[in-house]
Structure 1
């Protein structure tokens, strides 16, 4: 009968089975995969409660916004641990460069226009804009703006932003790939 349950209910059932014996250590592999936003929040409330009660919880997730709330994060790429630390420590020590949030249109031509700019360390789509990594925001922002202008890209705003865990992970993977 469990085979007919939705993914969300299967996840709930699996979590209940994992906790029924009140273990001191719980491994959760993608516990919120396939669940609706309300259930996702409820899962994390339960995970936080477990942690506060002394249970060690190891979670794998592709959702970097979820990882932001963990005490310690390990980034794994190609089967290798490439970084380990608190979210704050990873943001302070593992980001190469500074990030510009570029709101512009059209996105694909913008991305192509700045990828070859020497001052740009890396660039990627991020939501409805771009995250552009440069070494020095004050020096490199005008260079990025000029490259976009030459490509006939309309720039709404270029704003410095703090790195998110996703930015850190992408930066580390890019460095591994080079």
Structure 2
């Protein structure tokens, strides 16, 4: 379902960005980003390291504030603390308490989301099952491997069954078998109506998205479905399409 980078935004979208600019010192990291993510979409942000993906995610989730332009999340202007309960966020760097067990981490974040009683315990069990960590619930997080920490971070993002999942490189450091399992769950969540916005530099993951935005040096070079981007660029895979549509070169 091709949707232009700008245009009619009369209906409330999951994410709406208009003319976003972000600078650090004298350097412009994001320039003129206008983008709309529809509710129920699995939307990918594809680009090399340093392209501005993580900065954009921080603006969307309200962790950072743009120097120019507007950000709306589920119809609300960002940043806004009250939105914490409505989206799940998995950062590129794991924000976990190493001295606590996985269960203690999950209980802490569940309390932030307002979960309690039997529902809290049921959601902890369900989220850990998704990432295959049920048997490590009582292990101290400091003893987790890097891949296990990524999986726990994803479980925390899923904990409160949010309307919108925002995932920054969710499968980095995860083995291929589990990566396949996690993608199966993400696709199932999308089928149930959850909106998913994720960043990746893995081409086969981008191919699984409904639409992808190609980002290069802080600018969007194209936004469309994977098939449409391949057709538009006259290529047969996303990697070649990315290069042909302005994503090539040094990162």
Structure 2 residue 96 is matched with structure 1 residue 23: no
TM-score (norm 1): 0.58
Distance in 2, Cα, partners of 1:78 & 1:62: 14
Distance (Å, rounded) in 2 between the aligned partners of 1:94 and 1:171: 6
Gaps spanning 5+ residues in structure 2: where?
1-139
Gaps of 5+ in 1: 96-161
| Aligned positions of 1:31-42 closer than 5 A | 31-42=170-181
User: Greater relative contact order: 1 or 2 (C-alpha under 8 angstroms, separation 6 or more)?
Assistant: 2
1:174 is displaced (CA, Å) by: 6.0
- Give the superposed CA RMSD: 1.8
In structure 2, the partner of 1:72 is 211
Secondary structure of the equivalent of 1:54?
Answer: coil
Structure 1 8/175 Cα, relative in aligned 2: closer, same or farther at 3 Å?
Answer: closer
Q: CA deviation at 1:173?
A: 3.0
Q: Does 1:9 align with 2:148?
A: yes
Tell me, yes or no, if structure 1 residue 56 matches structure 2 residue 195.
Answer: yes
Q: Secondary structure at the match of 1:28?
A: strand
Listed one character per residue, the Cα deviations across residues 88-144 of structure 1 (whole Å, up to 9, x for unaligned) are 11111134xxxxxxxxxxxxxxxxxxxxxxxxxxxxxxxxxxxxxxxxxxxxxxxxx
Higher helix proportion: 1
Quote the offset at 1:2 in angstroms: 1.9
Aligned-pair CA distance for 1:85: 0.4
Equivalenced residue count is 111
- The structural deviation recorded for 1:172 is 2.2
